[in-house]
Structure 1
Amino acid sequence: MDMSFDDIVVGAGTAGCILANRLSEDPARRVLVLEAGGTDGWIWFHIPVGYLFAIGNPRADWMFSTAPEPGLNGRALAYPRGKVIGGSSAINAMIAMRGQAADYDGWEALGLPGWGWNAVLPVFRRIEDHFLGEGPYHGAGGGFRVEAPRISWPVLDAVRAAAGEMGVPATDDFNRGENDGAGYFHVNQKRGRRWSAARGFLKPVMHRQNLTVETGVLVDRLEIGDGRVTGVRFRRADGSEVVATVRGELVLAAGAIGSVQVLHRSGIGPGDVLAQAGIAPRLERRGVGRNLQDHLQQRAIYRISGARTLNDSYHTLFGRGLMGLDYLVRRRGPLTMAPSQLGIFTKSDPGRDRANIEFHVQPLSLDRFGTPLHRFSAITVAACNLRPTSRGTVRVTGPAPEAAPLIQPNYLSTEDDRRVAADALRVTRRLMRQPALSALRPEEYLPGPSVGDDEAALVKAAGDIGTTIFHPAGTAAMGRNDDPDAVVDARLRLIGLDGLRVVDASVMPLIVSGNTNTPTAMIAMKGADMIIEDRRRT
């Protein structure tokens, strides 16, 4: 087999699927896509509630975990990342969320032309096939299907009403640039089935003769010669080692964890980190693996009375049977549920210039993903800090591609993050005391009534119940060429090395104010545009 290609894409997650689609549009160019996971033939990749079975399952998940976190009182967290075509879009919450216009204007203000809101909005519209149709904020005919949820819960309507009583306006669309408000999330689904990046972008073009997709392969490192990436070394499932050469560009799209691992194993990164891992440095870029940002949420749980929750339906044979029948007959009901249905964006304190916390409200409760639902009626009201100031790291622990990375998010390591966490719990308690919820008689289960309202008690509680919302970003950040912490430039080219781009969530210089999958898709579409434009200029 000829292993020489015009373009090579490492990773077939959200970004990789879009890159594969766009870069293979030219039939004269041979494109190779390398994916460590397998195909998405498992039923739970397609039934929306399947995330409960996919997260924490090595068939679908890299099974990463963080190091023990001082800010979480010494706890380590599971750190799910998708390991299948479609990547994390095959196991995530399916929430279609762009963030805020000010996020992207902030990127542009850092010296990154072309990344402001007015520049990225048309790209967001291009990737969508939105149920609202073509309009100023949404598009039709794109690869990512976006629909309204196919189930309603009166208990969530009550929480939305409570938010209104607290001064948070109702909204029917979080994606017009300012996401302040309370409303139901739009989801990446089509008629009750998950709509991953693989379904939307990769599978429709798999027939192309110039596109080769290899699954079940483990990328070792990049091949580098004369200041340029010349190829990639990877291992197939049968143990054979292969080197594929690239005539054009190699694009890393393995995510905020995976792309760092490949760069580090290739000798690209901070020299001290590489030396500790036994890797010979090839290019000093101190920002590779630093600047890790993630959204930490405090999962408050409230017992309630007088309203149905998923906890109640799940623990009866009749209830489970009815859920299954509803899905089989109508493609509706609890099996179509995203992990969170109701969103509330607001400020943790009045001094903030815009919404800085996001609530994910769920008509269910459980100790953690992978454990059974509680046997009492309850809802989860989880608030996350949208713009954390804590910064973490990702680093390889050795030269072998099988070696697990060291992930240290450093949650709650800044005074501002601790203050936001405490204030978010105060906002949660205020929300649950509103008159619209009085008939439900909410009782705080977590963090619990014994936790006081003072700063020290709430910060400790945040450390006890805080958990990731699975949004790692920033570990190969965009920046100016003269910024020693930047990894890629505004056109996503690796600074200091030709023939290599990084196109995934790792390039975000600052994390967006919302869920990260849709912004990653935008980055991939815009990155593909740049690759094609730059190719035409040469």
Structure 2
Amino acid sequence: MAIETTDTFDYIVIGAGTAGCIVAERLSRDPASKVLVLEAGGNDNWIWFHIPVGYLFAIGNERSDWRFQTDREPGLNGRSLAYPRGKVIGGSSAINAMIAMRGQAADYDHWQSLGLPGWAWSDVLPWFRKLEDHFLGESNLHGTGGGWRVEPPRVRWGVLDAVAQAAQELGVPPNQDFNTGDNEGVGYFHVNQKRGRRWSAARGFLKPALKRSNLRLQTGATVERLIVDGKKASGVEYRVGDRVFRAKAAGEVILSAGAIGSVQILQRSGLGPASILSALGIEVTADIPGIGENLQDHLQQRAIYKVTGTRTLNETYHSLPRRGMMGLEYLLLRRGPLTMAPSQLGIFTRTGKNVARPDVQFHVQPLSLDRFGEPLHRFPAITISGCNLTPTSRGQVYLHSPEIDAKPGIRCNYLSTDHDRHIAAEIIRLTRRLVRQPSLQRLSPEEYLPGPSVGDSTEALAAAAGDIGTTIFHPVGTAKMGSESDPLAVVDERLRVRAVTGLRIIDASVMPTITSGNTNTPTAMIGLKGAEMIHEDRRR
């Protein structure tokens, strides 16, 4: 097939996801820089990308989701999980939970302790502030005027207030702002919305910047490989329909395709573990053992409790009159259940008195269902999903085939360490203690999952966690930052690929360890900070 040559650009950004949108916007501020953005998905011209509850329709839909699957997981008793990733401008920020969460200060201080100067909490906080347009206004913790809109939720549920009260009865303090560096407590999540509409990275950054003549977006563009001349990245080859194009980069190629997609592109380009590439017949450009390794994710245990004497979304959803009222409330006021993030109430706490900082996060929902894409249950119920914030299990992403349309292997290795199995058991115990508090006992909670037949031994609870555990969609770490002495380090502290010049990775894959909470806002921060690093290095 003939390859068509396009223009030469100063920067080529691969992936218009959360980080890629921000990188493209920042780089294109310089009118002298010509920027190309390549996105395999399409435009966000579908109503369910913008109404918050649309995640129910976007996840699992081939229009908006890559629809990856994990390998069968021994820790999940042989189950394979759906592994959603956004396939549209805005990436996963167009289909995710919209929860604005930075993590804990200790997460970033740990990064610096790994030999990564410039990544401590005191270093990244200014970038979080610069990123934001926060409803709380300007302060030493929050910023205004940025493209990352953060607002309070626009719906409340009495049953969630009861859960919050129960958490306080358990000894968890109230917390009105989880983004101060210490997220311990119970409160309602802040969300990436603007007046009741989802606020993705595409809406906040990329789309306003497309008015600039020096920024070009190509959608439907699947990158086949990076062009590496010697040890320098000089461009990309990409496919649009049945045509193949080659674009050259005079400055840098920036890979922002995410913790799964970036690995696929790197390995197809001959960058990665030589053993994997050689077995697939891919010529090894650079043997980089860490590409695809160090996969980390938050596994949640989805406990479901039937309740009485209170309203939940389950019975509201199955009532046509009430469903009509929900639509009317949204149409007229931009409020109500259609503005709901997948989880509204958060609880950050510790699984033991000797734990140094919160190690578990609960997402609490006034609804229940067997799995995403299936109908809500017909009985009133709540879901209390707890996840281990600092898992020690590590997985891999790897190519099954060099073909461009082949799905990757995703091996998460959930619950593969004694630590993670212990924490999973403690989470279920903690959930049961929460439900026994007076504020929830008045609702006559009845355990539906994991079920009252599951005993209280660590072995029984860890096995139950394997039955009810599912991803919370936070893959990170597959092209980690690390010091020169780290054998799995793919990029340095300035996000430059160590083995290839002219190539940076700026997305969630560079996190050396997962942050303590939802990972989209840290990814956005990495995008903003990484773009500024490019500017700084160019000026030197």
- TM-score bracket for this pair, using the shorter chain length: over 0.9
The one of 522, 528, 533 aligned to 2:531: 528
Deviations 1:195-236 (A, max 9, x none): 000000001110111111000011000001121001101001
1:276 CA drift (Å): 2.1
Partner of 1:273: 276
- Report the CA distance between 1:406 and its aligned residue: 0.2
Q: Name the residue aligned to 2:379.
A: 376
CA contact (8 A) 2:6 2:245 kept: no
Q: Is 1:158–2:166 an aligned residue pair?
A: no
CA contact (8 A) 1:279 1:398 kept: no
Q: Deviations over 1:282-337 (max 9, x none)?
A: 10110000000000000000000000000010011111001000000000000000
- Whole-angstrom CA distance in 1 between matches of 2:279 and 2:80: 22
Specify the code of the residue in structure 2 equivalent to 1:230: S
Match of 2:183 in 1: 179
Q: Is 1:311 aligned with 2:318?
A: no
The Cα of 1:367 is off from its aligned counterpart by 0.2
Is residue 241 of structure 2 the alignment partner of residue 243 of structure 1?
no
| 1:418 match | 421
Contact 1:270-1:288 at 8 Å conserved across structures: yes
Q: 3-state SS of the aligned residue for 2:21?
A: helix
Task: Report the counterpart of residue 361 of structure 1 in structure 2.
Answer: 364
* Alpha-carbon distance in 1 for matches of 2:91, 2:66: 10
Note the residue ranges of structure 2 that are not aligned, 5 or more in a row: none
Spell out the pairing of 1:124-523 with structure 2 (5 A cutoff).
124-237=128-241, 239-523=242-526
Instruction: Give the superposition deviation at 1:345.
Output: 0.2
1-structure distance, mates of 2:386, 2:73: 19
Q: 1:123 aligns with which of 102, 121, 127?
A: 127
- Paired AA for residue 482 in structure 2: G
Q: Alpha-carbon deviation of 1:384?
A: 0.3
Provide the secondary structure at the position in 2 that maps to 1:142.
coil
Q: Secondary structure at the match of 1:3?
A: strand
Tell me the residue number matched to 1:48.
52
SS in 2 for 1:440: coil
The Cα shift of 1:277 comes to: 2.2
- 1:31 maps to 2:35: yes
Q: Deviations over 1:58-99 (max 9, x none)?
A: 000001000000000000000000000000000000000000
Distance 1:449 1:465 in 2: 14
Q: CA deviation at 1:53?
A: 0.1
Give 4+ residue runs of structure 1 displaced > 2 Å after superposition. none
RMSD: 0.7
The residue type equivalent to 2:64 in the other structure is A
Q: Kindly state the Cα deviation for residue 2 of structure 1 after the two structures are TM-superposed.
A: 4.3
- Which residue matches 2:111? 107
Count of matched residue positions in the alignment of Structure 1 and Structure 2? 536
Q: How much does 1:352 deviate?
A: 1.1
Report if the CA contact (8 A) 1:278-1:398 is conserved. no
Deviation string, structure 1 residues 224-278 (Cα, Å, up to 9, x no partner): 11210011010012x1110100000000000000000010001111111112222
Residue 86 of structure 1 pairs with residue 74 of structure 2? no
**Structure 1 length normalisation: TM-score?**
0.99
Which letter does structure 1 place at the counterpart of 2:13? V
1:48 partner amino acid: P
**Matching residue's letter, 2:49:** F
- Compute the displacement of 1:136 (Å): 1.1
Unpaired stretches in structure 1, ≥5 consecutive residues: none
Instruction: Please say if residues 397 and 403 of structure 1, whose CA atoms lie closer than 8 Å, have aligned partners that are also in contact.
Output: yes
Residues 409-446 of structure 1, C-alpha deviations (whole Å, 9 max, x = no match): 00000000000000000000000000111210101000
SS at 2:410 equivalent: strand
